[in-house]
């Protein structure tokens, strides 16, 4: 209870109110400590993820997961592995996915490659500027015959981009959604991943591969320190309020 002491002009807080304030502050201490601990756990998880991805990117290329292994492919253990795939491109079933890169705005060129076992993998062959999206403007890069692609395995990106959904009916793509692109292009037996081609030049210079950005945002330490600082402040506040309660009693 809070009362106004007219004799001294001071506002007096009852012992019960101080106890409730102390309890509330201690509750906040527990909440902030929990959040801080969670951020520390996330920090170690992120550091481990970064180390594993860097090891995959720098490792020698291996064959892309075969059809029998597709069910075991997942983001945690497979994304950004260096892989190779050998087959024949189906250029007439290419999808252009809107992209913004260090080279400006344009499109990713996603072309299916049919492998010897009859399965299909979508290959992100690289970037083309918006004014070179038409095949006629980059025809030299349409490779024929058997080719081998080396690049980074990527996991499908379903749905679309922020505030922009893929529109298969209009052939407008904002994310590399493997299943949706496969359905729209009439592809069958398609791997649940795609491959970002490396920087090996294509005839005519387009598409431009090797633009994959391997970067992970890691602010967990800052968040952890913030939560622990708030916990310390709340604990100090609880101590001060409780001490005032003892003096008042």
Neighbours of 76 (CB within 10 A): 8
* Confidence at residue 248, expressed as pLDDT on a 0 to 100 scale: 54
Q: What is the pLDDT along the chain (249 residues), one digit of tens a residue?
A: 445 454 444 445 567 777 788 888 888 889 989 988 888 887 767 677 666 767 776 778 899 999 999 989 988 888 888 999 999 999 999 999 999 888 889 999 999 999 988 999 999 999 999 988 888 888 788 888 999 999 999 999 988 877 789 999 999 999 999 999 999 999 999 999 999 999 899 988 899 988 886 676 778 788 888 988 998 988 888 888 777 755 555
* Confidence at residue 78, expressed as pLDDT on a 0 to 100 scale: 85
Neighbours of 149 (CB within 10 A): 25
Contact call for residues 112 and 93 (beta carbons, < 8 A): yes
Alpha helices for 178-219 (secondary structure H):
178-184
Mode of pairing for the β-strands spanning 95-101 and 104-115:
antiparallel
* Confidence at residue 53, expressed as pLDDT on a 0 to 100 scale: 67
**Measured between alpha carbons, how far is 53 from 199 in angstroms, rounded to an integer?**
19
Q: Which of 165, 174, 164, 169 is nearest to 184 (CA)?
A: 169
Mode of pairing for the β-strands spanning 62-63 and 10-13:
unpaired
Helix (H) or strand (E) holding 122: strand 120-129
Distance of CA 27 to the CA centre of its chain: 34
* Confidence at residue 11, expressed as pLDDT on a 0 to 100 scale: 47
**Measured between alpha carbons, how far is 152 from 53 in angstroms, rounded to an integer?**
11
Contact call for residues 118 and 189 (beta carbons, < 8 A): yes
Structure tokens at 136: 């006629």
20-26: long-range contacts, CB 8 A cutoff, minimum separation 24: 21/238, 21/241, 22/238, 22/241, 22/242, 22/245, 25/234, 25/235, 25/237, 25/238, 25/241, 26/234, 26/235, 26/238
Tokens 């491959």, residue located: 195
Written as one string, the DSSP assignment of 171-214 is TBBSS--HHHHHHHTT--SEEEEEEEE-SPPPGGG-SB------
The backbone torsions φ and ψ at residue 176, rounded to the nearest 5 degrees and listed phi first, read -90, 75
The backbone torsions φ and ψ at residue 146, rounded to the nearest 5 degrees and listed phi first, read -75, 130
SS3 156: coil
């Amino acid at each position: 209870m809070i009362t106004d002491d007219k004799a001294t002009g001071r506002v007096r807080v009852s012992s019960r109110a101080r106890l409730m304030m102390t309890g509330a502050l201690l509750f906040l201490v527990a909440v902030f400590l929990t959040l801080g601990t969670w951020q520390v756990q996330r920090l170690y998880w992120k550091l481990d993820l970064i180390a594993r991805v860097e090891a995959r990117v720098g490792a020698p290329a291996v064959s892309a997961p075969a059809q029998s292994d597709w069910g075991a492919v997942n983001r945690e253990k497979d994304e950004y592995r260096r892989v190779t795939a050998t087959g024949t491109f189906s250029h007439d079933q290419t999808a252009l996915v809107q992209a913004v890169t260090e080279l400006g705005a344009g499109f990713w060129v996603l072309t299916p490659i049919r492998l010897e076992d009859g399965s299909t993998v979508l290959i992100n062959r690289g970037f083309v500027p918006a004014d070179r999206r038409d095949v006629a403007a980059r025809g030299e890069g349409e490779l024929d015959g058997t080719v081998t692609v080396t690049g980074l395995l990527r996991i499908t990106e379903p749905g679309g981009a922020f505030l922009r959904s893929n529109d298969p009916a209009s052939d407008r793509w904002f994310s590399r959604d493997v299943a949706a692109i496969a359905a729209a292009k009439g592809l069958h037996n398609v791997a649940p991943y795609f491959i970002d081609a490396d920087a090996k030049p294509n005839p005519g210079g387009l598409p431009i591969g090797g633009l994959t950005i391997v970067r992970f945002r890691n602010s967990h330490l800052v968040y952890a320190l913030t939560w622990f600082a708030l916990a310390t402040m709340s604990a100090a506040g609880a101590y001060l309020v409780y001490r005032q309660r003892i003096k008042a009693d």
